[in-house]
Amino acid sequence: MKKVAVNTRLLLKGRLEGLGIFEHEVLQRLVRSHPEVEFHFIFDRPYDADFIYGPNVVPHVLFPQARHPFLFIWWFDYSLPRLLRKIKPDVFFSPDGYLCLRTSVKQIPVIHDINFFHYPSYFPFWVRWYYNTFFPQFAKKAERIITISEFSKKDIAKNYRIDPSKIEVAYNGVGQEAFQLLPEEMEKTRQKYSGGKPYFIFIGALYPRKNLEHQLKAFDRFKERTGADVKFLVAGQSYPESESIFETHQNLKFKKDIIFLGRVEPRTEIDKLLSSSLALSYVSNFEGFGLPVLEAMQCNTAVITSATTSLPEVGGEAAILVDPASIEEIEYAYEKIFMDTDLRRSLIEKGNLQFKKFNWDETAKRIWATLVEEK
C-alpha cells in the first residue's frame, strides 16, 4: 500500500460531531502508524492545519462545498474522479460512507448505520432521496464495507442484500483513562449549569431519532410524581428538524427545569457536565453505535439508554436499558437512578469495565487491516 485517498469533508475545526470525531480519531492513528504511506486528504473547503497529522499527508480542496444532495453528486461523481485519476491511489477510503460511482479505484466506505432507511420522515425530502437512492449503490460498489456494530452489519446486509462476509465491524472507541473530577469541581459545574441542583443530561445533536421528546415528557412526569428538585440539561446543537422538540418543551409543566445549553465546547467541558450529573439519558430510537454511552461511563456516570438497535451491544450490563417508545419506562429509570444510590454506584463500577472494551487504537487497526485486505 503506497497511496491512500481519504474523504475528509467532516474534519471541521470546532465542529466535530459523531462522524467527524470518528474521522479525527481514526485518521490521526493511521497516518502516524504508517509513515511509509502517502495519505491524500480531500476536503471540500479550506482546512485547518491541526488535521494534517503528519508529513505524509497531502491535502487537497475540491469545489464545491458538498453540503446538499445535488452538491454531493457534483463533488463525488465529477470533481472527485478527476482528482483520483491524478493521484492514482491504491484505495479511496470514505469514513462517512459516501462513494464515487464514476471511478474504477478500489473504494472502502464506513457505513455507520442506515437510520434514513428506517426513518425517512426524519429527513428533508432531497436528503432522504439522496441517501435512499445512492447508499444502496455505494454498498454494492464498495470493495468491502466497514461498519461500527454487529447490529449495523446485520442491518446493512439484510436491507441492502449484501453478503455479510463483505462487511467488517470496527467499533467506535474512547480513551482508556477514566475522567476524574473532584467533588468541589462537580459542585462548581453544577453551580454553573444547573443552579447547584442535581441533574440528568442528554448529549447529542437534536435530531428527531434521538427521541428527546419522550425523554423530556418522562422527566416532566418524574418531577410531578416525585417532586424532586432536579434539572434536565440538554447539550447539543439544534437544527430545523428540532422544532418539534422545542414545541414539546413549551407544553411541559416543569419546562423551567429543562435547560438547553446548545453546543458545548471544549470537550473537557462535556466531560465535566457528564461527571457532575446523576446520569446520562440517551434513549434514542436508532443508533448505529451510540458513543455518548461510553463517554459517560468513562466519566464515572450512570447511563440510561435504549434496549434497541446497537445500544445494548454498547451498554452491556453497565446501563439501564429501556424501551424508547415507553415514556413510563424512561420515567421509572429516572426515579430508580435518583432514589437508589447503590444502583448508581453499581452502574458506575460496571461502566468502568465496559468502556475499556472499546478503544480507538483497536478501531484503527481493524480499519487498516480491511484497507490492505489482511485477515
Q: Which residue has the cell 462487511?
A: 167
pLDDT interval class at 89 (50, 70, 90) = very high
Predicted local confidence at residue 14, as pLDDT: 83
pLDDT interval class at 374 (50, 70, 90) = low
| Architecture of the domain delimited by 183-357 | 3-Layer(aba) Sandwich (3.40)
Q: Which residue has the cell 457505513?
A: 111
Q: Give the pLDDT confidence of 10-22 residue by residue, as tens digits.
A: 999 988 888 999 9
Q: Give the pLDDT confidence of 262-302 residue by residue, as tens digits.
A: 999 888 999 999 999 999 999 999 999 999 999 999 999 99
**C-alpha grid cell for residue 107?**
473504494
CATH number of 3-173+359-371: 3.40.50.2000
| Average pLDDT over every residue of 247-260 | 98
pLDDT interval class at 240 (50, 70, 90) = confident
Q: Give the pLDDT confidence of 183-207 residue by residue, as tens digits.
A: 999 999 999 999 999 999 999 999 9
Domains 3-173+359-371 and 183-357 share a fold: yes
pLDDT interval class at 39 (50, 70, 90) = very high
Predicted local confidence at residue 375, as pLDDT: 43
Instruction: Report whether pLDDT(30) > 50.
Output: yes
Predicted local confidence at residue 186, as pLDDT: 97
Predicted local confidence at residue 181, as pLDDT: 93
Alpha-carbon distance of 374 to 357, in angstroms, equals: 23
Predicted local confidence at residue 359, as pLDDT: 94
Of the listed ranges 16-25, 100-109, 354-363, the one predicted with least confidence: 16-25
More confident residue, 14 or 303: 303
pTM of the shown model: 0.92
Instruction: Report whether pLDDT(104) > 50.
Output: yes
| In the chain, where the domains are located | 3-173+359-371, 183-357
**For residue 365, how many C-alpha atoms fall within 13 Å in the half-sphere facing its CB?**
7
Instruction: Report whether pLDDT(354) > 50.
Output: yes
Q: Which residues contact 166 (CB under 8 A, 6 or more apart)?
A: 142, 144, 145
Predicted local confidence at residue 1, as pLDDT: 82
Predicted local confidence at residue 15, as pLDDT: 81
Predicted local confidence at residue 127, as pLDDT: 95
Burial class (CB in 10 A: 0-12, 13-18, 19+), 204: buried
Instruction: Report whether pLDDT(312) > 60.
Output: yes
Burial class (CB in 10 A: 0-12, 13-18, 19+), 210: buried
**C-alpha grid cell for residue 81?**
474522479
